[in-house]
Amino acid sequence: MSEHPETTVRVGFVGLGTMGAFMAAHLVRAGFDVTVWNRTAGRDTDLVALGASPAASPAALAAHCDIVVICVTDSPQVHDVVFAPEGLAAGLAPGSLVIDCSSISPLATIDFAQRLRAQQVHWVDAPVSGGSEGAQRGTLSIMVGGDATDVARAQPILSVMGSTITHVGELGAGQWTKAVNQVIIAGVYLGVAEGITLGLKAGLDMDKVVAALSGGAAGSWILTNRSGRMIADDYPLGFKISLHRKDLGIALDLADQTDVDLPVAALAASLEDELIAQGHGDDDNSALARSIRQRSGL
């Protein structure tokens, strides 16, 4: 057990996918008393071997925990994890805190939190950015919305999973910020993909080109970490393109509600729809370059 007193808090973790399994493992290694549950059986094996306890259901997990972290795919999954008959709501005690690291609609976030408030359960929205590499290294950027007292309570847990934790505003603000993040990276992915394709068509040594650009104004996390995949036309999983498309759908819906025009995000969504239809939904998001390459005869 860690020497830090905050790690005596009992933490539940629901959702052990590409991101969640790494995030939960950091909590176990930090000395927290961690209980885990995943919809697909067998995903908890490594975590149990590491020291986590398995739960039979979200309700059973919640009954054992003071704080529960959720990291699942979308708003419907969060709803089911929380409000299904054996969901978290059936086991959460008054005073419990839910930290939702999923990327979902801010409107759904507020609705879920208000429903749990009747049980005196608190909610913080804390979506993450940084890909599977950031989850594995514990260097995620975490955008947090919620009451300041609840955010302070979540801080010791968030700081184990991420290196940049920013309280951006009230409940739902974290999800709004994640939507902004996904809009911005859509444009960067497309820009890098177009630049890489142009350089390849010109016959340039693209490794040298990337080295030259990385220290200048074109430098970015995506150029540094994903250009190699675009050059090789090989896109091993980091963050599924289907999940980014889901997030862009949230952002585009929010844009409609606020009368904002997002032409680049809309273009990225259209290209991602094509890639998903071609069977590439499980490729890394850098597979947007596949579409640009196809259009360019590469």
Q: Which helix (H) or strand (E) holds 33?
A: strand 33-37
pTM for this model (two decimals) = 0.91
Per DSSP, the three-state class of 53 is strand
Residue 123: enclosing H or E segment and its boundaries?
Answer: strand 122-125
Q: What would the mean pLDDT of 154-160 be, rounded to a whole number?
A: 97
- Give residue 146's identity as a one-letter amino acid code: G
Among 178, 201, 208, 246, which one carries the catalytic annotation? Answer: 178
Q: Residue 46's closest CA among 33, 58, 36?
A: 36
- Residue where the block lists tokens 């579409």: 291
CATH classification number, 5-170, choose in 3.30.470.20, 3.90.1150.10, 3.40.50.720, 2.60.120.460:
3.40.50.720
Residue 217 CB contacts under 8 Å (≥ 6 apart), including other chains: none
How far apart, in whole angstroms, are the C-alpha atoms of residue 244 and residue 184? 12
pLDDT in tens, 78-88: 999 999 999 99
The CA distance from 127 to 124, in Å, is 10
Average pLDDT over residues 273-279: 96
Q: How confident is the model at residue 131 (pLDDT cuts 50, 70, 90)?
A: confident
Token code pair at residue 89? 């709501």
**Using one digit for the tens of pLDDT, what is the confidence trace for 169-190?**
999 999 999 999 999 999 999 9
Could you give the dihedral angle defined by the CA atoms of residues 7, 13, 19 and 21, in that order, rounded to the nearest 10 degrees?
80
Catalytic: 178? yes
Q: Strand runs (DSSP E) across 136-186, as ranges?
A: 140-145, 162-169
Using only the alpha carbons of the chain, give its radius of gyration.
20
Query: What separation in angstroms does the CA of 50 have from each of 36, 64, 65?
Result: 12, 19, 18
pLDDT of residue 6: 57
The domain spans of the chain are 5-170, 176-295
The CATH classification number of 176-295 equals 1.10.1040.10
What's the half-sphere exposure (Cβ side, CA atoms, 13 Å) at 281? 9
Q: What is the pLDDT of residue 32?
A: 95
51 pLDDT above the threshold of 70? yes
Please give the structure tokens belonging to residue 244: 């980014």
**Residue in the structure block whose two tokens are 């990337």:** 210
Amino acid 1: pLDDT: 37
Cβ contacts of 41-45, under 8 Å, gap ≥ 24: 43/16, 43/17, 44/16
Is 86 in a helix, a strand, or coil?
coil
The predicted pLDDT at position 2 comes to 42
